[in-house]
Structure 1
């Protein structure tokens, strides 16, 4: 069993985090998930077309604590399905070399209003491909892949899901595209080893989840595939995302708090590539707190470390610690903005405080730290933070402090001490996206 060995040193087993910053992490003791020990059904691929019926029947018959295992056969390793509902305590095990593909027919996902696969004023007309609703335990594991087929032409249409999303952007409407996976009012869900790719919309969206582990997963979607977020925890607590690789057409990870507070999140030893970066927001109105980001690379994402909200959906974001982060090729390595959409107004003022950057190294680009106004200043501590000399600070309504490691380049208009000692060595941290063995 592989454990996160840094837990004791960083307080992830209950001790306090060393140096500055408050305790900020998943409250569980998280270890690498083990393969299921009980398999209720093994389903071989048949290559005959629609596998929905036998897949759903196998999930429904499977007892809690057991797994439905999908395996290759002489016909290959491809399953094709319409939306599936996961049962409480049941794990879907997708074997190495197996692909579970979502159908590209909007009618299969439609919620009854006939809007899935169309552009409308609202964008909630589709069911997800896989749903965990009110479940406890179970999840998705294995070395295979789940493919949303976002780039495939929709049945009865002349464009793909992704093309529909781009057309909606040009026309000012909302695309009705299905999310790949939704976890809703669930507990103790595990994703381990699986590859998620080509979602038509978000890959994984969590809503009111208590306890979820993402360990060693890959999320892979083209950089121009609009609104294809990687993992979005919302209104959730005790979430760990560890040892994973994510590249998408939108936020690689986005922590949200629109319907409820999101707290106690650990993002550990992850690698992000193209996409919009590691985000908190834009919905923060219910509050985000106790977040730990440790040992992370952001390699080529548009933004790097990002907190975004505005007065129409803002709230308190506090006790967030970024510790041991390497950034390169980012337009905005740091992007903390309380006016994400400057056209929005309201009384929900974003407040960011007790934010810590510790042992962070990056290149050039914009370093944005924008509080909302003189009464709602952004509070940020910089400790051992080093960017390229030509990186540009943009500071507004911010209260900045420095830890013993200092910061370079020094933010203008401050007397913060420059960084001391060598910059964090990121040489061994940069890893290529592991695509050589993708199914």
Structure 2
């Protein structure tokens, strides 16, 4: 019997997850009833019931007419102290008039426990700032549309004068303190916030604006679409976020976060438009979300060495479940900015479709001794048309010094304060079809090998029409096509029922493995 559980509740929405052995989609379709009223069919593991009443008691039932199966949950929505319509504060929503000040006034006027509502319309805005203890709801047909003139965006300084670095760390760019533009939705030290609904947050970016010559800093670095700095207890649920100037959702030094049933869309060629990048965050749930982006779908980070020396704050306790990742550079990625460490990550019941890499770990010398990656678990995943499903790259050639000999050397260098660590990696029950470049590419440092890699019930089948490409981003690697697993510099390697079919090379190339277990 499948299990139906509540994963988030607000005053007007309830999100559910139906446990299933099939990733993302359900094995069979159900009919959804709310208080005996038929609401439509459900074919995905995660969905949201919307447009409910505050403090309402609801009976949620799933029925399968063919099997007679019936699953019911009783759930009460949360109370609400106030309802505020942004149009009552002067917002027009015609896509022409700037509505920023009207919307900000509505947010600031909203009492604790209240809800700020956006009815149908296109609201042209510059960045708006969240405050604690409120809900933002985008109704059906509501669009928050980013204005294009960067000169009008507020700037968040990289660091403000503060007695403690954590309190002063404000603006960020690729793992370091740096001046950045405020994001369309910016939260700084807020808590107990919900951003929910049927609507859209559109960064309105293009190759004529934010994506043009993207690696050049103009006034300040590009904004995100949603930026959460030192926030707690935040739920983002149900909405679509698209056309982001850079990373779409970027939580930094935040905790107790839920990202539920989202749709994140950026063009495949849009630079640095990662989907969701938790950085130095704790207790994060990402569930039921679809990604189709121009860079990594999910990239878990924890800053570069300069930040970790002041504040070594890891990303830890992250769950990614029942998500669909499409077209990104990597589906679930760790690094390369990981100097604070990344620990205890679980990726479950997901589909990766036509991403460059699947489970991807990238680090390099210079990330530091606090750059510990450990207890990474991935299970029950289906990969379709992924170039290289599994990679661990300890020679990632990013940053100004990325092509120096210190980074690319395959010689055994001294272990010092700049040397990162890759610990225990567990991969289980994963099917990869129409694979292109290599089954896997795992290359640890000779002076500090990957501690442990366990692969169990892994099936990789190659596309007969695959084209050559690079398995990972490091100096001097050659293009590959339909290669098996390349495994180098690993202390403990366990292979149980790992099958590679239709490869153009041997299934496994193993170098510098200290202990190996094959079943």
1:324: which partner in 2?
380
Q: Distance in 1 between matches of 2:136 and 2:450?
A: 46
Kindly indicate whether residue 451 of structure 2 is the aligned counterpart of residue 362 of structure 1.
no
One of 77, 81, 85 as aligned partner of 1:42: 85
Q: How many residues align?
A: 376
Q: Distance in 2 between matches of 1:71 and 1:311?
A: 51
Per-residue deviation at 1:416? 5.3
Per-residue deviation at 1:105? 0.9
- Deviation track 1:163-202 (CA, whole Å, cap 9, x = no partner) reads 2317x4xxx9998322111101110000000100001111
One of 384, 392, 403 as aligned partner of 1:343: 403
Per-residue deviation at 1:112? 8.4
Q: Distance in 2 between matches of 1:105 and 1:372?
A: 45
Per-residue deviation at 1:374? 4.4
TM-score using structure 1 length = 0.79
When residues 177 and 82 of structure 1 are mapped into structure 2, their CA distance, relative to the original with a 3 A threshold, is same
1:294: which partner in 2?
348
1:266: which partner in 2?
319
The CA RMSD measured in Å over matched residues stands at 2.8
2:110: which partner in 1?
62
Q: Distance in 1 between matches of 2:248 and 2:382?
A: 25
Per-residue deviation at 1:133? 0.6
Contact 2:361/2:392 (CA < 8 Å) preserved in 1? yes
Q: Distance in 1 between matches of 2:202 and 2:145?
A: 5
2:124: which partner in 1?
80
Kindly indicate whether residue 146 of structure 2 is the aligned counterpart of residue 92 of structure 1.
no
Q: Bigger CA drift: 299-308 or 42-51?
A: 42-51
Per-residue deviation at 1:65? 2.0
2:179: which partner in 1?
124
When residues 31 and 286 of structure 1 are mapped into structure 2, their CA distance, relative to the original with a 3 A threshold, is farther
Answer 1 or 2: higher relative contact order, Cα 8 Å, separation at least 6: 1
- In structure 2, runs of 5+ residues without a counterpart are 1-5, 7-14, 21-45, 55-79, 158-170, 408-416, 463-481, 502-506
One of 396, 411, 424 as aligned partner of 2:508: 411
- Deviation track 1:190-239 (CA, whole Å, cap 9, x = no partner) reads 00001000011111111111100000001001011101111110111000
Contact 2:127/2:154 (CA < 8 Å) preserved in 1? no
Kindly indicate whether residue 337 of structure 2 is the aligned counterpart of residue 245 of structure 1.
no
1:107: which partner in 2?
151
TM-score using structure 2 length = 0.67
One of 442, 449, 452 as aligned partner of 1:379: 452
Q: Distance in 2 between matches of 1:104 and 1:144?
A: 20
Contact 2:282/2:317 (CA < 8 Å) preserved in 1? yes
One of 400, 403, 422 as aligned partner of 1:352: 422
* SS state at 2:106 partner: helix
1:160: which partner in 2?
209
When residues 282 and 65 of structure 1 are mapped into structure 2, their CA distance, relative to the original with a 3 A threshold, is same
When residues 243 and 189 of structure 1 are mapped into structure 2, their CA distance, relative to the original with a 3 A threshold, is same
Q: Distance in 2 between matches of 1:33 and 1:266?
A: 22
Per-residue deviation at 1:407? 4.6
Per-residue deviation at 1:108? 1.8
* SS state at 2:102 partner: helix
Larger radius of gyration: 2
Per-residue deviation at 1:66? 1.8
2:9: which partner in 1?
none
1:396: which partner in 2?
488
Q: Distance in 2 between matches of 1:58 and 1:236?
A: 29
* SS state at 1:55 partner: helix
